[in-house]
Amino acid sequence: MIVEQLYTNCLSEAAYFIADEGEAAVIDPLRDIGAYLDLAAKHNAKIKYIFETHFHADFVSGHLELAKATGATIVYGPQTNASFDFHLAKDGEVFTVGNLKLKALHTPGHTLESTCYLLLDAEDREYCVFTGDTLFVGDVGRPDLFSGNLSKEQLASMMYDSLNNKIKTLPDHVIVYPAHGPGSACGKNLGKETFSTIATQKATNYALKDQSREDFISEVTTGLSAPPAYFPVNAQLNAQGYESMDKIRAGALQALPISTFEQKVKDGAWILDSRPSSVFTEGFVPESISIGLDGRFAEWAGSLLPFGQELVLVTEPGKEEETVVRLARVGLDKVTGYLDGGFEAWQQAGKTIDLIIDVMPEELAMDIPFDNKLQVIDVRKPSEFESGHVKGAENIPLGELSNPLHMAQVDDDANLYVHCAGGYRSVIACSLMKREGFHNLRNVLGGFGKMREVKGMPVVLPSAAGA
């Protein structure tokens, strides 16, 4: 028996490969399916089933590509409606993979069709459960996503039944394999581990404690942040279908001479620069948007870039395909080429370049008392801001900065100091602001993590804020 977790940090996403006696199954695959085909070849197994726990909103699944490549049957749980051929599992239906069995457990709540899959070993013992977004380590899936006209309270009530009747009743030793880990926007506050056990979750997960339905609904629906803007787009793609990765690669992996690159930009293409943020600030093609591969690239690209917008890329040499694939994972398929030779070629050709000034937190601390035109822009989440911030800072979360209404909060005459928690998001924010015509920008290195340590920095902490 082989059970392997394939974890993608950029999306906090976990897919699973299961194999036994020459047969295999994949659960919640990503759009780029090479890893699953490689595992099947490695273990000399034929992929028989592709199990989907629900219509994912945070990434484009690889169910269609993998089914086409292998002939495997796509399986969804009850109440699923889709525009392609699939097997509609019944609650309690059992599927065999070699000597193993996978039992479908319909667990509505995150979405109507949400279904977990309980794996029984060759001796018919419950071994693990693949919980999708129904149960995470330390959390549960948010009940406010795309289930018709149902309210989040109605879905939370369904989740209460699913957890109490289908999940908490499983043996304590059963391993919990969720679809996401820490950082995912599919829950409120996922734990740092990517797997657990039923016993540990019953002891530590707030959603599995003994409580009334009313208390559960209140707790699960309180404190939900707005979902990323790309979630409904991805959910629709997963239900209706999408272009093949081969076709996307063919269109995107074209090296563009500078003249062609410039013409595409003139015709309306946006420039996406996926180099590390620390490199981007030192020089970039004007109007470029920085989203570095070294951070939560796909999530921020999906949240900030318009779907249907033509994109051209500036990447580190050799990172062109990785950039294209990671964009495609969230449905950004309109890449039409990359700058041949990258930024170095642009610079060597004598083309105009732009940059962002990096400053140390100490410089900001020295400027605050004397610069009456200074404005600090904090692009962290509201919950991060509330846990501590620079006195007088304007909190504009990065996810909202692309909205013109929020951009209007920025004083274009001010000396702008932009920061996040560590430095990645602030560079994205500076690039967006540069593109909108703000030029008096400084990126604060190290973010709030370093700023709060600086002597003389006027920091407001929760205890002081309540004083």
| pLDDT value, residue 412 | 83
| Burial (0-12, 13-18, 19+ Cβ within 10 Å), 87 | middle
pTM confidence score:
0.92
What are the E-state strand segments in 365-467?
Answer: 374-378, 389-390, 394-395, 415-419, 441-444, 459-460
What is the greatest pairwise CA distance in the chain?
74
pLDDT tens-digit map of 262-278: 999 999 999 999 999 99
| pLDDT value, residue 463 | 67
β-pair partners for 190: none
β-pair partners for 97: 100
| pLDDT value, residue 467 | 35
Q: Which CATH number fits domain 2-233: 3.30.420.40, 3.60.15.10, 3.30.365.10, 3.40.50.970?
A: 3.60.15.10
Question: Low-confidence residues of the chain, pLDDT below 50?
Answer: 464-467
pLDDT tens-digit map of 223-246: 888 888 899 999 999 999 999 999
Q: Does 357-465 match 2-233 at the fold level?
A: no
| pLDDT value, residue 411 | 85
Q: Which CATH number fits domain 243-348: 1.10.3720.10, 3.40.190.10, 3.40.50.300, 3.40.250.10?
A: 3.40.250.10
CATH of the domain spanning 357-465? 3.40.250.10
| pLDDT value, residue 173 | 98
In the chain, what are the domain boundaries? 2-233, 243-348, 357-465
| Burial (0-12, 13-18, 19+ Cβ within 10 Å), 121 | middle
Contacting residues for 327 by C-beta, under 8 A, at least 6 apart: 272, 298, 301, 311, 333, 335
CA–CA separation, 420 and 447 (whole Å)? 5
CA neighbours within 13 Å on the CB side: how many for 424? 12
